[in-house]
Amino acid sequence: MIGFIFDLDGVIVDTARFHYKAWRALAEQWGYSLSHKDNEQLKGVSRMNSIRKISEWAKVDLQKDELEKMADLKNEYYLSLCDSLGIQDVLPGVLLTIQQCVERGIKIGVGSASKNAKIVLNKLGIHHLFDVVVDGTMVQHSKPNPEVFIQAANKLNVPKHSCVVFEDAQAGVEAAKRAGMFAVGVGFDLLRACDKQINSFKNFDLDDFINEVQMVKK
């Protein structure tokens, strides 16, 4: 038995531009210019931990309730930008891969730090294709803590060592490895410690991939 767990942003869909725009608008209120390099450090990190990082960079000292208020404002702006999302925004090759998994009886889930994962999946029109969705509303710790992937594996009823995680962020790869899972880095950025890296799901051969994973695990 094998199970696939997909990160959401950067793997299934790319709303990174929306996150960056929303975080940058928030940082500007504190007189800080958020760079793309800064934004890379927020990938796979929870909303509150992200805003704590930005407040540290901006050298702004705020109370927890103030940070939570700013995080809510950021999220409202982000969701307004996501209103335009549809099936056309699913990244190339992903929908075909998911459909092939369903046809082959492979259990599939989403493991995302985002508290908006279910909202985004519904806007994309693919939420129903997944057996399990575990998001930031269901876990106490963000990546690189493995909680989100362990919970997804448990809900899929697949042993952790039989799970394959697709991730585009270093924190996510580290979380997958801490969970004892096979980690696949997705994208052109080199991700340390991943077991395999693919540029995208375009031209992805599911059967060849499964054979490769099984060979590695022997």
Catalytic residue among 7, 131, 135, 168: 7
Residue 191 shares a structural domain with residue 130: yes
The predicted pLDDT at position 218 comes to 65
Weakest mean pLDDT among 10-14, 46-50, 157-161, 170-174: 46-50
Residue 171 domain boundaries: 3-14+89-217
For residue 163, is it left (φ>0), alpha (ψ between -120 and 50) or beta?
A: beta
String of b and e for 28-37 (b: at least 16 CB within 10 Å)? eeeebebeee
Q: Which tens digits make up the pLDDT trace of 94-118?
A: 999 999 999 999 999 999 988 899 9
Distance CA 213, CA 215 (A): 5
Residue 94 shares a structural domain with residue 156: yes
Q: Which tens digits make up the pLDDT trace of 157-200?
A: 999 999 999 999 999 999 999 999 999 999 988 889 999 999 99
38 is catalytic: no
207 is catalytic: no
Domain boundary among 47, 62, 82: 82
Number of domains in the chain: 2
- Alpha carbon dihedral 123, 125, 128, 129, in 10-degree steps, equals -120
Q: Is the pLDDT of residue 23 over 70?
A: yes
- Supply the pTM of this predicted model: 0.88
